[in-house]
Amino acid sequence: MGYRRPADLENWVLNGQHHSCLQNRIISLSSGQGGEVTMSGKLWEPIRIGRMELKNRVVMPPMVTRYAADDGFVTERIRDYYGARARGGAGLIIVEATYVHRQGWAFPNQLGISDDKFVTGMSELVDVVHKRGAKIGIQIHHGGRQTKEALGGLQPVAPSPLPMAGGEMPREMTVEEIAETVAYFAEAAIRAQKAGFDGVELHAAHGYLIDQFLSPTSNKRDDEYGGDLHRRARFLLEVIAAVKEAVGDDYPVWCRMDGKEYGVEGITLEDARQTARLAEDAGLAAIHVSAWGPESPTNRTTPTFTPVVIEDLAEGIKKVVSIPVIAVGNR
């Protein structure tokens, strides 16, 4: 059965008849005695991310909906979803992980931005959100080893030939393929800019490709892209440089990164702090802190939206950078 647009879509979403992490987080942070949302406190003050000015500091993080068409195009359902959330008052809405190349296509019904053919639909999505008074960014993404050949028709690739638990064996990327993938991110950012997005977020968290380079558990290379932290961060820094060159210094670019990798001897908070400093020096406008790992507290299902460990990780990173830091109450 296909998507059926509710007759009163806005009230259907905002009155809680549709799952919305953002709605619950806003209410938990700013409810008045009667349960009404109060527009007071620092959360509601304007802030700038690069040259983008937000009316408040409420950010809807990228959360995968799988509402895209089978081939990655924007659908009416996804326009309705983001439009309704823009009406809720957030200063910035970040569209979910969107693949930059078919080889990085990570899950069914994922949005795509790997070709110019996606720009028109993306522009329509941008218009819906802008008409409701919010800024809109998009998270550009490559799944790396967290993909399946059946999705994009290509064998998964990764920094090293190490599969995820239960996943397909990835092929180790050559230096030439790394350069090609850097270019894919830059081309995707250009498309996002053409579509009218106010900025782009690089997905460098949650065990996807950029994060796979950053983590010592998934990156066992012995060349310029592996080894110590600076070499493991090289891929991220090259992506930042290429994207910045492609879209210009005035266009906001930021990244989502893990403040810690749980359950393995992977990324530590100190690693994340060093990487954040390198990313700021490379020209990022903000850092969006998350966390990931097979034993992460953020991966456990809970009945509430109580903020968990990521607040502390974000605070730890904010202490070493001067750019804005986005924190989330859950992954």
- The residue among 292, 101, 65 whose CA lies nearest residue 181 is 101
- The amino acid occupying position 328 is V
Q: What are phi and psi of 326, to 5 degrees?
A: -95, 130
Residue 226 half-sphere exposure, CB side, CA atoms within 13 Å? 17
Q: Tell me the two tokens of residue 187.
A: 């081309």
Name, in order, each residue with C-beta under 8 angstroms of 292's C-beta and a sequence gap of 6 or more. Answer: 205, 206, 207, 211, 258, 261, 262, 298, 299, 331
Is 82 annotated as catalytic?
no
CA distance 45 to 56: 5
Q: Tell me the two tokens of residue 50.
A: 């690069």
Contact 310, 274 (CB under 8 A): no
Contact 214, 267 (CB under 8 A): yes
Contact 313, 325 (CB under 8 A): no
How far is residue 80 from each of residues 5, 102, 239, measured CA to CA in Å? 8, 26, 32
- The amino acid occupying position 298 is T
How far is residue 115 from each of residues 82, 135, 208, 252, measured CA to CA in Å? 22, 23, 20, 21
Q: How many helices and strands (H and E) does the chain possess?
A: 11, 12
CA distance 311 to 319: 13
Q: Tell me the two tokens of residue 272.
A: 């994340």
Which one is catalytic: 208, 225, 251, 262? Answer: 208
* Catalytic residue ranges: 208
